[in-house]
Amino acid sequence: MFAYDLNIYVMEFDYLIAPNPDDPRLTRRVEGIDHAGKEIVTSVTVERPLTLFLNGQEIVTMMTIGDYPEYLALGYLLNQNMIHEDDHITSIDYDADIETVVVRTAMKTTFEEKVKKKTLTSGCAQGTVFGDVMEKFETISLPEGHIIKTSWLTTLVKKINTTPSLYLEAGAIHGCVLAREDRPLLYMEDVGRHNAVDKIAGYMYQNDMSGADKIFYTTGRLTSEMVIKSVQMGIPIVVSRSGFTAWGVELAKQVGLTLIGRARGKRFVALAGQHRIVSDIDPLDEDE
């Protein structure tokens, strides 16, 4: 795992984990020209392959920026329903030289036998995975006792948007944030939003962190994938600065997930779970 010096970011924004846009391994300087033909040097995001093994079975090769590979691997397996909370994980080993991470469990999992019957691609036998995930999804019930105040939402969005990040440094990246009330706790970035949320899931699992009182924020679209992952993490409220897909909204309504999109400043649109939203500021009051 990259050895980050996170102190400045954690202290200033009170994060448990925050982006480190100054890490030279995450961006590369590239020469080019701008619209006027002027020569420029700009930062671009670096992506690397990471091959994931579950015990002796190769699962998938993911393209990622390369930070927090252990969290990414563990979160991926959890969110794809390949391992369960009662599976005893004996080790998670990352080898940077061969860009491989191996997750080992005390006993062989049920998924390993299923995946042997498939020809694996980067989609990782999605038909089998999808069926298993949806089966678990239909049995989940989200906690009802937690709310989101509109003042929290406004403050949270402002904090996230002003946090130093790879998005602000180089772009071409997605961010996902785990928050409690108006305090962002974990801010993960990656070239795919699914990678970023999987890193958060891995951290939550390893640190025995409940999602019941949390808010999940993503820069990406509120698709069925993001809804399913959030629900599996036990998080009842999801926010995005982007829009929705119809199936994402349908699934959110099915399980009572609060789904808030197009969140910018004091503006937002909620298409599911509106009962958790408490309006405590005037969205038209410029002095707030």
Burial of 160 (0-12, 13-18, 19+ CB in 10 A): buried
Per-residue pLDDT tens over the stretch 141-198: 898 889 999 999 999 999 999 999 999 888 889 999 999 999 999 999 999 889 999 9
Q: Which of 62, 98, 272 is nearest to 75 (CA)?
A: 62
**pLDDT above 90 covers what percent of the chain?**
71
Helix residue ranges per DSSP H, 162-255: 166-169, 193-206, 224-232, 246-255
Per the CB < 8 A criterion, the answer to whether 267 and 283 are in contact is yes
Domain map (residue ranges) of the chain = 148-278
CATH architecture of 148-278: 3-Layer(aba) Sandwich (3.40)
Task: Indicate the pTM of the whole model.
Answer: 0.87
* Mean pLDDT, the chain, whole residue set: 87
State both tokens at 70.
């252990």
pLDDT at 141: 81
Per-residue pLDDT tens over the stretch 183-204: 999 999 999 889 999 999 999 9
Per-residue pLDDT tens over the stretch 85-123: 788 999 999 999 999 999 999 987 766 665 654 433 333
State both tokens at 220.
């990406």
Residue 261 phi, psi (nearest 5) = -125, 175
pLDDT at 283: 80
CA distance 47 to 182: 31
The model's confidence at residue 137, banded by pLDDT at 50, 70 and 90, is: confident
